[in-house]
Amino acid sequence: MSFYRLLLCVAGLLLSVGVQPDGAVAQSQRTQPVLPKDTLPMELSLVHLPAGLNARPAIPADSPLTAERVALGRSLFFDPILSENNMVACASCHQPRHGFASPDAGAIGIRGQVGTRNAPSLLNRAYGTRFFWDGRAGSLEEQALKPIANPKELGSSVASVLKRLGGNAAYVKQFQQAFATDGAQAISEKNLGKALASFQRTLLLGDSPIDQFRASNASALSAAERQGLWLYESRGRCWRCHSGHNFTDESFHNTGVRWKKRPVDLGRFDVTGQEVDVGKFKTPTLRGVSLTAPYMHDGSAKTLRDVVQFYNRGGVKNPNLDPIIQPLGLSDADVDHLVAFLEALSRTSDPMSVLPDVKSGETPPVKPAEEQ
């Protein structure tokens, strides 16, 4: 057993007897999962590309995007039929109003169990190369199936889900329409993953004021947002990890989150077994970021200002700290400007946005999950 795994076992023992490790995050008062309604646009486009996204997402040759598969995946995403007790859906942890993320530090799954990590946003995951905070899935199809068998998420099994779907006449018809070439075998593990992945590939967000400004619309940004953009590209060093049109390098970094004397979560190490990967987590996109609080893989940062201040301090020193992470020396005004820039990335003028509440340049107030 490695030294880091031994420390993690000790941390788990402390938690089991009610002692929280340094940096532990308080969970919200809500103890049961929610079932958000499908409030997305009636039709989800298969071809629309929001401004600012420079290329269409790559679609696997064996998982083509069709209207029938997207519709099926959409139904499944909001349906608790995928959970063992029929009370939790994918949307319970990936709530549309919260940027397809969770408002809880640890997402609440079956029987009120709290996950060990914050549920990441699904926005623009069509551009992803690795999935989950630790990158343990290599495709959206693979990622879509893993929560089904997770005992703290949907708490079921793929075999059980397929049996329930096979007993539902509506789903039998939808699967046969979406996967007509498979005939009687249309309801399968592979096709379940393909349907869910197809829906998730339509969750694209772009056409923000940042994109409009970069397209020569000088009035798209306020003075504070322009200053924030300059800081993002210079002294703020944000671009070193949050790069490209989707504002992520799709890579893994150790920033020291929740690392005080010991690593609470080993991150990428759990996948690779390489000591150099201890404490590394995937860089999330910044698009839609003001909707997806709380932040970091453990939900330890409640606000965007908390996030910027964390990096302004240079993260938390540890043996694996990424050399990119250094104290920034930003003033309070600089922090305010960077937050303004980040908030602008959550606004869109896209008339076909999958987040209708954030059209027309206004970020909606975030309501408690119980009110949704």
The whole-angstrom separation of Cα 147 and Cα 76 is: 13
Q: In the prediction, which pLDDT does 29 show?
A: 53
Amino acid at the residue 185? Q
The whole-angstrom separation of Cα 173 and Cα 293 is: 38
Q: Does the domain formed by 31-200 have CATH 1.10.760.10?
A: yes
The percent helix, strand, coil of the chain (3-state, each to 5) is 40, 5, 55
In order along the chain (372 residues), what is the average pLDDT of each group of 10 residues? 43 34 42 86 86 92 94 96 95 94 92 92 96 96 96 95 95 94 84 97 95 95 97 95 96 90 83 94 96 95 97 94 96 97 94 64 38 38
Q: In the prediction, which pLDDT does 30 show?
A: 61
Q: In the prediction, which pLDDT does 32 show?
A: 82
Q: Render the burial of 72-100: b for 16+ CB within 10 Å, e for the rest.
A: bbbbbbbbbbbbbeebbbbbbbbbbbbbb
Helix (H) and strand (E) counts for the chain? 12, 2
Residue with tokens 């970069």: 214
Q: In the prediction, which pLDDT does 262 show?
A: 63
Q: In the prediction, which pLDDT does 63 show?
A: 93
Burial of residue 295 (number of CB atoms within 10 Å: 0-12, 13-18, 19+): buried
Q: How far is CA 318 from CA 14, 236, 259, 280, in A?
A: 22, 21, 7, 12
CATH 1.10.760.10 domain residues, the chain: 31-200, 209-355
Q: In the prediction, which pLDDT does 261 show?
A: 66
* Cβ partners under 8 Å of residue 164, min gap 6: 81
CATH architecture of 209-355: Orthogonal Bundle (1.10)
CA-closest candidate to residue 187, choices 202, 170, 204: 170
Q: In the prediction, which pLDDT does 3 show?
A: 42
